[in-house]
Amino acid sequence: MVDLPEYACACGRSYEVSVGRWRCDCGGVLDLAAVPLAWSPRGDDHSLWRYADAIPVPGRRFSLGEGMTPLVEASLGGAGSPGGDDGVWFKVEYVSPTGSFKDRGAVVLAALADLIGAPRLVADSSGNAGTAMAAYAARAGVAAEIFVPSGVSEKKLAQIRGHGARVTVVEGPREETARAAVERVEATGAFYASHVYNPFFYEGTKTYALEVFEQLGGTAPDALVLPAGNGTLVIGAYLGFAGLRAAGLVDRVPRIVAVQAELCAPVAEAFTSGRADVEAWSAAGTAEAPGPGERTVAGRTVAEGIAIAAPARGARILEIVRETGGAVVTVSEKEIALSHAALAARGLWVEPTGAVAYAAVRGLRSCGSPLTEGTVVAPLCGSGLKASM
Ligand SMILES: Cc1ncc(COP(=O)(O)O)c(C=O)c1O
Ligand SMILES: [Zn+2]
């Protein structure tokens, strides 16, 4: 048996990793007992497994070539952000095997499922985590059942089904989908491959930071601007840079600016109010159908990937942005649409959620905010081929 770090809860309890354990007996979310980051990139590996020594699950053989996504300069001297794009870099996550950064976490969870002998897994997702888990479960030969909320793009559904996973569409707000998945997990004893609850997912997303560090020539940018629904990229990117700092490779963690849609902004609301925890956003997902001529459901953001009313790790996101001197900011539907169009005009085709981080960069740069001074990295986190504006 391979040595895995234990699950640990803030209440002090810890648990050996097992198929059935997905949260603490106190109801709290589990983290991993801290393991120092082992920095020895494998020069001949051009996937996320370049950082295999820093990922506490041996999983190379399930790779679909995820990770090592391009870092491209935003500015080419043409029309860009209203405040200028100098020093802004896009991390092009949408070239990942299933079209989003979720592949980073999914490959690690699939490897973990195999390692601990889980024949079946369950996941719930607004779309991209579901497509990623379905693909990597198929790769690892683990049966998958994916719960999605109604309204998820047809292409994401087709992809999940195409990979052989069973799909259950759940009506109502996103939390109902999570509740249905948990019920199935409890009833069947399946492995809950949750990008929200399983901390091994963050061991995958942390490679985002390790790549940025290497791609910027062994330096940290001044700021990371990241979309935040459940915060898997925020938490992963923080873990990566905190690990590099602990290893003495950088002297600080970049400012982390988390971005939410104005129409679903529970973490931003808690940040602005100075609270330590997040209260559920009651308006999300409860709105009526679109009115005549309206392109989006009133009260529901086009950024489906970050429409999370009650993020289970909201308090952690708040801690991270506060510790790094960052912030939680919001973008309007109009800003998302303009940023989507500005990216498309430069040859970059993202799904609406994929335009959110750049929308924040544009807004912050245009008002001269210190949050986006210096070198800034923003992900283009999801592909426009799966969902359009
Ligand atoms: C394209 C895209 N960007 C961002 C996110 C947000 O990720 P998280 O909910 O982990 O913050 C998602 C989540 O599904 C996504 O699909
Ligand atoms: Zn606990």
Stronger pLDDT, 12 or 60, i.e. the higher one: 12
- Can you give the pLDDT at residue 58? 87
Distance of CA 179 from the midpoint of ligand 1 (Å): 19
- Can you give the pLDDT at residue 290? 38
Is pLDDT of 265 > 60?
yes
Stronger pLDDT, 127 or 364, i.e. the higher one: 364
Average per-residue pLDDT for the chain: 93
Share of the chain above pLDDT 90, in %: 84
CA distances from 75 to 81, 99, 381 (A): 9, 24, 18
- Average pLDDT rounded to a whole number, residues 211-236: 98
CB of 204 within 6 A of ligand 1: the answer is no
CB of 305 within 6 A of ligand 1: the answer is yes
Cβ atoms of residues 160 and 146 within 8 Å: yes
Task: Write the pLDDT tens digit of every residue in 37-51.
Answer: 999 999 999 999 999
> Cα separation of 126 and 278, whole Å?
20
Q: Whose CA is nearest to atom 5 of ligand 1?
A: 305
Give the number of whichever ligand sits closest to the CA of residue 227. Answer: 1
CB of 230 within 6 A of ligand 1: the answer is yes
CA distances from 387 to 26, 140, 265 (A): 38, 26, 21
Q: Whose CA is nearest to atom 7 of ligand 1?
A: 229
Share of the chain above pLDDT 70, in %: 94
- Average pLDDT rounded to a whole number, residues 58-73: 94
Spans of all domains in the chain: 71-99+203-290+297-379
Is pLDDT of 292 > 50?
no
> Cα separation of 100 and 96, whole Å?
6
Q: Whose CA is nearest to atom 1 of ligand 1?
A: 382
Give the number of whichever ligand sits closest to the CA of residue 99. Answer: 1
- Can you give the pLDDT at residue 79? 56
CB of 131 within 6 A of ligand 1: the answer is no
Q: What is the 3-state secondary structure (H, E, C) of the chain?
A: CCCCCCEECCCCCEECCCCCCCCCCCCCCCEECCCCCCCCCCCCCCCHHHHHHHCCCCCHHHCCCCCCCCEEECCCCCCCCCCCCCCEEEECHHHCCCCECHHHHHHHHHHHHHHCCCCEEEEECCCHHHHHHHHHHHHHCCEEEEEEECCCCHHHHHHHHHCCCEEEEECCCHHHHHHHHHHHHHHHCCEECCCCCCCHHHHHHCHHHHHHHHHCCCCCCCEEEEECCCCHHHHHHHHHHHHHHHCCCCCCCCEEEEEEECCECHHHHHHHHCCCCCCCCCCCCCCCCCCCCCCCCCCCCCCHHHCCCCCCCHHHHHHHHHHCCCEEEEECHHHHHHHHHHHHCCCCCECHHHHHHHHHHHHHHHCCCHHHCCCEEEECCEECCCCCC
Q: Which fold has domain 71-99+203-290+297-379?
A: Rossmann fold (3.40.50)
Task: Write the pLDDT tens digit of every residue in 153-200.
Answer: 898 899 999 999 999 999 987 889 999 999 999 999 999 999 999 999
- Can you give the pLDDT at residue 78? 57
CB of 306 within 6 A of ligand 1: the answer is yes
- Average pLDDT rounded to a whole number, residues 65-84: 83
The residue written with tokens 């807004």 in the block is 363
